[in-house]
Chain A
Amino acid sequence: MDCNNWETTGLLYVAKELDKKQASLYQQHCTVCAFCAQEVAQYESDKNLYFSSSLLSVSTTAALDEKVLSLCTSVKPTSIGMLSSVWIKRIVFSALVFAFGAGAGGYFSFAYYHSKSAASVAAAKSPTTPQTTVLSATQNRQTQPGLDSSKSDGNTTSVLQKSVRTPLTGHSAPQGIITVDLKKE
Chain B
Amino acid sequence: MNELSQEEDHVLFDIWIKGDTRGFSALYDRYKNRVFGFLVRMTNDREIAEDLLQDTFLAAMRNAQQFDRQRNFLSWIFGIAHKRTIDYFRHVKVENEHLDDTDRSLGKGPLLPDDMMSGKYLNSVLNDAVNSLEPMQREVFLLRELGDVPFKDIAHMMNCPINTALGRMRLALKNIRRELKKRGVHGLQ
A, B co-complexed: yes
Q: How many residues of A contact B (CB 8 A)?
A: 41
Question: Does A143 belong to the interface (CB within 8 Å)?
Answer: no
Given the known inter-chain contacts A7-B166, A55-B126, A64-B53, please indicate yes or no for A78 contacting B19, CB distance below 8 A: yes
Asked whether any CB of chain B lies closer than 8 Å to the CB of A115, the reply is: no
Q: Is A121 at the interface (CB under 8 A from chain B)?
A: no
Q: Mark A75-116, 1 if CB is under 8 A from B, else 0.
A: 111100011111100000000000000000000000000000
Query: Within the assembled complex, what's the spacing in Å between the Cα atoms of A76 and B25?
Result: 13
B34 adjacent to A53 (CB under 8 Å): yes
Q: How far is the CA of A42 from the CA of B37 in the complex (A)?
A: 24
| Interface SS of chain B | helix
In this complex, the interface size class of chain B, counting residues with CB under 8 Å from chain A, is 35 or more
**Restricting to A9-64, which residues have a CB under 8 Å from any CB of B?**
11-12, 15, 17, 41-43, 45-47, 49-51, 53, 55-60, 64
Nearest Cβ in chain A — how far from B9, in angstroms? 15
Determine whether the beta carbon of A77 is less than 8 Å from that of B144: no
CB–CB B126/A56 < 8 A: yes
- Interface contact A58-B33, CB-CB below 8 Å: yes
User: Chain B residues near A82 (CB, 8 Å)?
Assistant: 61-62, 64-65
Q: List 20 A-B pairs, Cβ < 8 Å.
A: A7-B167, A7-B170, A8-B163, A17-B150, A41-B188, A45-B187, A50-B122, A56-B41, A56-B146, A59-B33, A59-B36, A60-B32, A60-B33, A68-B57, A72-B60, A73-B24, A75-B61, A76-B19, A77-B16, A78-B64
Q: Besides the contacts A69-B24, A83-B65, what 5 more A-B pairs have beta carbons closer than 8 Å? A: A53-B33, A58-B40, A59-B36, A68-B28, A76-B19
